Structure 1
Amino acid sequence: MTNVLDQLREMTTVVADTGEVAAVKKYEPVDCTTNPSLVLKALTDPASGDLMERELEAGCKAGLTATQLVDVLTVAMGAELSALVPGRVSTEVDARLSFDTEKSVARAREIIAEYEKRGVGKEKVLIKLASTWEGIRAAEILQKDGIDCNLTLLFSMAQAVACADAGAFLISPFVGRITDWHKKAEGRDSYAPDEDPGVKSVRRIYDYYKSNGIDTIVMGASFRNTDQIKALAGCDNLTISPALLDEMKQDTSTLTRALSPESAVQMDRIEMDEATFRWELNGDPMAAEKLAEGIRNFDADHQKLIEVIAERM
């Protein structure tokens, strides 16, 4: 009998929420990702250890700083992963630039240039930016230059609307983190899949995009269990951790499609300017808190990697 993972692949593009070479080889996702926390793991991953050591040695000989080496290692790992997937490798712009459009654009172009030096064209890369107003504006500029972007840390309809207006290639609404916030706020242990706040958020965004003819790809992310994934079967893309991919591979139940463009609920187009965006985000405690927390955590991983590399140097 066909397993749930194979059934899901019939209706959704499956992306591996990992940068571990062994996991990418095992699960054969269409796309994958790289970021400072994944580079940290790669430093002790036998499948990537030699690459990391070679890059560290070359960087030290070239007189690079630890901060510069972080950037090099992230792209080096992404270049290796790009040879293993038919699609894209999402690569993160430093979280500390989340509120600086100009510097985010400059850093994104540096990432693309570094990939091109390694023989990887921009068509294989997605630049990952936080869904702040400034990050979304950076994506708008980059998209016009033919550099596709993945807008991450997305928790609200206001962010989704602004990303669509900017012509973003892809958005990553975070299912599990939305659910985590509501469970804590409401004192609940769990939700039925159709009542799950994270699932409902992505369904609403999907309906808005499909009913308004918006091309931006919706990629559900940050899953806590396979029930959340099953409840979004049919979404454009879903990025899933190796543990949950494995669980679905062992599951032989029948998967029912939950989302499709044809069944999308009709929604009116929403007008979104900067003042409205900031007001809407300010009025949504969950989205405001999780966005700020996510940026802090991304930056913490980045700073930790700098420290680890400085010690290795």
Structure 2
Amino acid sequence: MNQLDQLKSFTTVVADTGNFKQLAQFAPRDATTNPSLILKAVQSPDYAHLLEEVVAAHKGKPTDEIVDQVLVRFGLEILKVVPGRVSTEVDARLSFDKLANIARARRIIGLYEAAGISRERVLIKVASTWEGIQAAAELERDGIHTNLTLLFSFCQAVACGDNGIQLISPFVGRIYDWYKKSAGAGWDEAAQAGLNDPGVKSVTQIYNYFKKHGIKTEVMGASFRNIGQIQALAGCDLLTISPELLAQLQGSEAPLAQALDAKAAEAMDIPRVSFDEAGFRFALNQDAMATEKLAEGIRAFAVDSGKLDKMIEGLVK
């Protein structure tokens, strides 16, 4: 049995891509997208026609409305392939605006429902800022499920768990990137691999805390740089993995052991904590890695959202 099939025996495998034509070969349950993945997809000859079709059908509408139509069109195509859920992201430029996040999320869900897709099959991705978490909490109360992304710190995860968020996506690879860059020439790859990988350690801490305290929020490790990080988190609720790394797992027959275990976590001595807004902001501020990566991630997604806007505006003319 290959490692991908072994992983599926104790973790829900999710594909991290906007390239829905790649999905079937890996048979993931769910799929995730983000502005960068959608931008990459529409720039390829395989998908350019989808962008053109959506823009042509909605000429005269504001750019942001056309963008949401494009995102949902990709989501609809993905849902033809995966049996579970698709994650569709709210514009990162709204990351610090609670009400705008809520309005955009409701519009996206409305587009899916108008196309005959139940909201149970959609997760709205929102950045894990304080405002994003509060927006997601309100959406959850309305039966719109959310996926809190750009999550790098324990305080972000705790706030999500306390606010009844459906799912969080802690970013393994970007945490690893920060620590590797920070260490410079002193970085020891072998010593920082596997269970010692700083990204793996972050997700493990969150997973164990949630299981210890019966927090229902799903933990989905994301942003992987190598299959070693995936192997070290086998047993996590879900893992969202790029097609390239899914192919590597599929190509290996080596044994894969379960690394995370909910029952083991329940027996651990882990104190319960909580954060109000001031406590959250201070805890995030004290974590240089999380502060920098959250800001960097929002900026990068905002840039790609702007590029998608320009592509659409170019087609409208």
CA positional deviation for 1:47: 4.7
Matches within 5 A, 1:133-144: 133-144=130-141
Q: Which residue of 1 aligns with 2:7?
A: 8
Q: Let me know the Cα RMSD of the aligned residues.
A: 1.3
Tell me the distance in 1 between the aligned counterparts of 2:224 and 2:234: 13
Task: Decide whether the 8 Å contact of 1:37 with 1:305 is kept in 2.
Answer: no
Task: Decide whether the 8 Å contact of 1:149 with 1:170 is kept in 2.
Answer: yes
Matches within 5 A, 1:100-179: 100-179=97-176
Tell me the distance in 2 between the aligned counterparts of 1:211 and 1:242: 32
**Residue type matched to 1:292 in 2?**
A
Tell me the distance in 2 between the aligned counterparts of 1:189 and 1:32: 33
**Residue type matched to 2:91 in 1?**
D
Tell me the distance in 1 between the aligned counterparts of 2:94 and 2:260: 35
Tell me the distance in 2 between the aligned counterparts of 1:235 and 1:35: 21
Q: Which moved more, 1:303-312 or 1:183-192?
A: 183-192
Task: Decide whether the 8 Å contact of 1:21 with 1:47 is kept in 2.
Answer: no
**Residue type matched to 1:266 in 2?**
D
Q: Which residue of 2 aligns with 1:282?
A: 285
Aligned residue-pair number: 310
For the pair 1:268 / 2:265, whether they are aligned, the reply is no
Tell me the distance in 1 between the aligned counterparts of 2:160 and 2:245: 28
**Residue type matched to 1:7 in 2?**
Q
Task: Decide whether the 8 Å contact of 1:208 with 1:266 is kept in 2.
Answer: no
Q: Which residue of 1 aligns with 2:225?
A: 224
CA positional deviation for 1:287: 0.4
Q: Which residue of 2 aligns with 1:303?
A: 306
Which 5+ residue runs of structure 1 have no aligned equivalent? none
CA positional deviation for 1:57: 1.3
For the pair 1:95 / 2:92, whether they are aligned, the reply is yes
CA positional deviation for 1:28: 1.7
CA positional deviation for 1:151: 0.4
CA positional deviation for 1:35: 3.0
Tell me the distance in 2 between the aligned counterparts of 1:306 and 1:101: 22
Q: Which residue of 1 aligns with 2:195?
A: 194
Which 5+ residue runs of structure 2 have no aligned equivalent? none
Give the TM-score of the pair, scaled to structure 1. 0.96
CA positional deviation for 1:44: 4.0
Task: Decide whether the 8 Å contact of 1:129 with 1:135 is kept in 2.
Answer: yes
**Residue type matched to 1:51 in 2?**
L
Tell me the distance in 2 between the aligned counterparts of 1:166 and 1:123: 19
Identity %: 55
Tell me the distance in 2 between the aligned counterparts of 1:48 and 1:89: 18
Give the TM-score of the pair, scaled to structure 2. 0.95
For the pair 1:80 / 2:81, whether they are aligned, the reply is no
